[in-house]
Structure 1
């Protein structure tokens, strides 16, 4: 009888370990499956007929503005207007103490009267010397002296008249009048204050508010486009060939009266590549005040084949250029740079870079990159609202 085969514990352990190792090597790890294409919502670009507007920010400027300053020195005796009221051109606003100017005027009149009296004597003497000179009763020197005295007397009359005019002007300047019609602001100096001729500070400011200007900064390239549209008749003009303009106030309300484009600056700002365009608006209720921030809108007619993309579909590169992500025929993402114009509601008007029928990613563009495979679905306004709530 054969003796049983005995295995030592270390040998058994080594055999089990080898078996487990070989079994593990025979089993390969299952490969991980590739992630499914990212779902995105796309808008198929189609032409639309839209009313084209150019909306530009601007500031209100006064039609006329006058700084009221004294022309003569003296003490203010009266203020003859109500602050914030309307005044007319030539209306007296202040009275400066006229006493010294009245005295100067009276003195100048006295000097004029004296000069006239002296002229009478000198001219009479010259008339007497005329026949005497012919008869050789007076010398030629005496006649010449009489002639010079007469002419000097006439010159003194002219000098005295000039002094009277100067004195009268200074006396008239003690009545400080409004140079223009408009609305006057607060008074800077009060009664009893000493004012000086040629001072740089104002007594008050009168501003003409009706009509009133709106100054806007328009890109130079847009100004060229607008001029071409006016020339082609795309922009409808007023009977006087001016371009109509509407206005939106800072609180979002529309200004009732329409205005018209009146002036454009002759130079382009090199720093901003813009030009100042001025429109004029009627302002009978004085609702528009200088310094107000407004938006002026120019009606550019109808674009029958405008391409629109939602605002959320447009991003910008590091240079600030607008761009969109497209889905091509192979459902792969492409990056496309575009040129956009004015806003149309919540959409950009695309000037160039897109064609009809191309698919623009609107929802999900943050999760994809150029070259990625995607699963496109049609974009709807409801999905845009839901995306905005997330």
Structure 2
């Protein structure tokens, strides 16, 4: 019986193919490992914070009034006969504005004059009676009692003359009130009463309003804390001394443009408002061309000086959940998000109260993609520092 061996002998060619396949797979694996992306720390500009002097810009809502704002009201009742000017017109002091029917008041004057003449005649008559009785009393023809009665009548007649003169003066005043003139120079407001209207001193609505706006007052308010800080900025032992040392202020108009003339703070109210807890200040602005009118609104722009302050660009901050943060760079070039407390603005920079201090380094730009603890490559460029200084 013959036994057949079924075991196959290894083929040399197959061995070579298998070996080449293994080598190829190894090389491909190594190549994939070399091509795997390696995380590279981003290069970002960094600023070293330093103390500096700064001026913060603060704006307060203001209401504008003329130096004189008066209501023109009639002081006597009657029909409005004439209106001498139009709404919005400029008038000078003493210029006629309105004419009220004067005939009733002229007749009152005539009556008062007649009463005065009658009183003067009564005085003459009383004087004649005294002159007649005086020698008769001396010669004891009549009693002294009659002379005393005559002298008393004379005094009554004298008093009646004084009273009649007062009535004449009052009638003249009322007659003069029929001519309504401008108490100051300024601009006329609306004219709710037209010619022919019946006017009275008891009317709720005035004939018009008159504003002297060659200068205007801008009234604004400071909170108690702001007022304490405001006083601390300037030298002087009294409020009056501090007002003298205040710098000029700017008025920002409703369209956010700056008024061409600078103003001066010249008044601080004597007390705080109990309801609002604020105190009112007044700034005066020249207004020779009449650009500003009573009733305008705007903002008083103040610049407050700060020494040894910390400034950082607004572009280096990020706002999240009503808080403002910066990214501080540690010694190992890792960043951490730090909340900051802002007390004002100086140009495009924030004035910082808390959160960072001199010597800290912050990331200037590219912060929107940074993560807490991420490593960066700081780039301390001179251009970044120059840019910060130029923005002050």
- Please tell me the TM-score bracket, short chain as reference: 0.7 to 0.9
Give 1:69 shift: 1.0
- Say whether 1:87 aligns with 2:87: no
Superposition pairs for residues 175-186 of structure 1, below 5 Å? 175-186=179-190
Tell me the distance in 2 between the aligned counterparts of 1:260 and 1:272: 24
Paired position in structure 1 for 2:387: none
Match of 1:105 among 84, 109, 123: 109
| 8 Å contact from structure 1 (residues 87, 182) kept in 2 | yes
Q: Specify every segment of 5 or more residues in structure 2 that has no aligned partner in the other structure, as ranges.
A: 1-38, 385-392
Change in CA separation of 1:218 and 1:137 when aligned onto 2, cut-off 3 Å: same
| 8 Å contact from structure 2 (residues 90, 187) kept in 1 | yes
Tell me the distance in 2 between the aligned counterparts of 1:290 and 1:366: 51
| 8 Å contact from structure 1 (residues 74, 194) kept in 2 | yes
Tell me the distance in 1 between the aligned counterparts of 2:139 and 2:308: 105
- Say whether 1:209 aligns with 2:184: no
- Say whether 1:64 aligns with 2:101: no
Change in CA separation of 1:195 and 1:118 when aligned onto 2, cut-off 3 Å: same
Change in CA separation of 1:253 and 1:126 when aligned onto 2, cut-off 3 Å: same
Change in CA separation of 1:291 and 1:351 when aligned onto 2, cut-off 3 Å: farther
Match of 2:164 among 160, 167, 170: 160
Q: The residue matched to 2:205 in structure 1 has which SS?
A: coil
Give 1:277 shift: 1.7
Paired position in structure 1 for 2:360: 358
TM-score (norm 2): 0.75
Paired position in structure 2 for 1:52: 55
Tell me the distance in 1 between the aligned counterparts of 2:296 and 2:46: 40
Tell me the distance in 2 between the aligned counterparts of 1:180 and 1:348: 47
Superposition pairs for residues 231-380 of structure 1, below 5 Å? 231=235, 241=245, 243-269=247-273, 273-301=277-305, 303=307, 305-310=309-314, 313=317, 315=319, 324=326, 326-329=328-331, 331=334, 333=336, 335-338=338-341, 340-360=342-362, 363-364=366-367, 368=371, 372-376=372-376, 378=378
Tell me the distance in 2 between the aligned counterparts of 1:273 and 1:120: 70
Give 1:292 shift: 2.7
Q: The residue matched to 1:244 in structure 2 has which SS?
A: coil
1:43-65 per-position Cα deviation (integer Å, ceiling 9, x unaligned): 54522645514331323222211
Q: The residue matched to 2:163 in structure 1 has which SS?
A: helix
Give 1:81 shift: 1.6
Q: Specify every segment of 5 or more residues in structure 1 that has no aligned partner in the other structure, as ranges.
A: 1-35, 383-390
Give 1:37 shift: 11
Tell me the distance in 2 between the aligned counterparts of 1:265 and 1:257: 24
TM-score (norm 1): 0.75
